[in-house]
Amino acid sequence: MASVTPQPPCRVLVVEDEPSIAENIEYSLRTEGFEVTLAGTGEEALSILAETGPGFVILDVGLPGMSGFDVCREIRHRSNVPVLFLTAREGEIDRVVGLELGADDYVVKPFSPRELAARVRAILRRTAVVGGESVSQASTGKPSAVGLVIDPERRRASWNGTTLNLARYEFGLAEVFAAHPGRVYTRDQLMDLVWDEPEASLDRTVDAHIKSLRAKLRDAGGPDDLIVTHRGVGYSWKEPA
């Protein structure tokens, strides 16, 4: 797993207008070894973003002036930095809206700062895997796993030109496989890389999503053996010939 660990320290930009919440987050992230910059408004956040290029953004939805949604849209025009939304209540944002805006995840207040730090680390692990070769290949439109093309920004995938209508975790699995065709991943590794709360999921969750991803690849005309089962170990994307 060493190859997917992000290089510390990562600088996190925390955009939160409530000083006590901002300070809690700052304390917790610093304890976990992150560098932290605070911003109280979206406007301030965007100028810090331009100056310092943080490795991660935690973004409150309810900000005075520019809303968190607008800030996220603006960030996405300029950068691929991972964005985690903070929302005041479930329902202020749904997962689909957040993802359409290009956010990576969201956390509902009140949250434990430790949980938040764990979520940041999980997202960094996930984006580290796809942050290298597959993203750059996808942005130039080249196939990343021979036939499989991933567009992480628009969260789209295709097989030999046929669009794959993938659900969230199917897309996550495809992204991981595309980055390293041939590499064998255990169920635990896939869980860790793709799921936001790995500890709450079961091994058979991975199996179920692999099964549905395989079905969609088959529907798009892909051969049956694109995703190889390694009995008692896990899965890999078929090694390119």
Binding site for Ca ion (CB under 5 A): 17, 60, 62
- Shortest spacing between CB 108 and Ca ion, in angstroms: 13
Nearer to Ca ion, 9 or 62 (CB): 62
Q: Which residue minimizes CB distance to Ca ion?
A: 62
What tokens appear for 71 in the block? Answer: 């800030």
Cα separation of 237 and 180, whole Å? 8
Q: Decide whether 40 or 234 has the Cβ nearer to Ca ion.
A: 40
Contact between 128 and 146 (Cβ < 8 Å): no
Return the number of the residue (17 or 105) whose C-beta is nearest Ca ion: 17
- The CA distance from 221 to 145, in Å, is 15
CA-based angle 169:16:102, to the nearest 5?
30
Strands 234-237 and 185-186: antiparallel
The Cα–Cα gap between 17 and 38 comes to: 9
Q: Which is nearer to Ca ion, 17 or 74 (CB)?
A: 17
- In the complex, the smallest distance separating the C-beta of residue 91 from Ca ion, rounded to whole angstroms, is 16
